[in-house]
Amino acid sequence: MPAIGYILIDVQAGTERDVFYSLQGVEEVSEVFPLFGQFDFIAKVEATDFNVLGQIVVARIRSIPGVRSTQTLTVTRL
């Protein structure tokens, strides 16, 4: 079953534009939206399974210069 996650992303002040464009360059990121509040962005990530989703967050999103922290919200079916 494919895994979908919404990643809440907090970034260092002044890096918002660079992080935004870097997130758009991650193949598995299908949407990115700037936010106001505790987090700076929310990104929708689509992966083949939850293990791959975790790998994308750790290796491709958290490694972007300026990203301070992430919180992953996974989607499930009812």
Rounded Cα distance between 14 and 63, Å, is 17
Range of the domain at 46: 3-74
Question: What CATH number did the domain enclosing 56 receive?
Answer: 3.30.70.920
In which band, very low, low, confident or very high, does the pLDDT at 72 lie, cut at 50, 70 and 90? very high
Number of domain units in the chain: 1
Q: 64 falls in which pLDDT band (50, 70, 90)?
A: very high
In 3D space, the residue among 18, 21, 19 whose CA is nearest the CA of residue 69 turns out to be 19
> SS3 for 12-62, per residue?
CCCCHHHHHHHHHCCCCEEEEEECCCCCCEEEEEEECCHHHHHHHHHHHHC
Mean pLDDT for 35-44 is 97
Judge whether residue 33 has pLDDT over 80.
Answer: yes
Per-residue pLDDT averaged across 21-31, rounded?
97
Mean pLDDT on 8-27 = 98
* Single pTM value for the model: 0.93
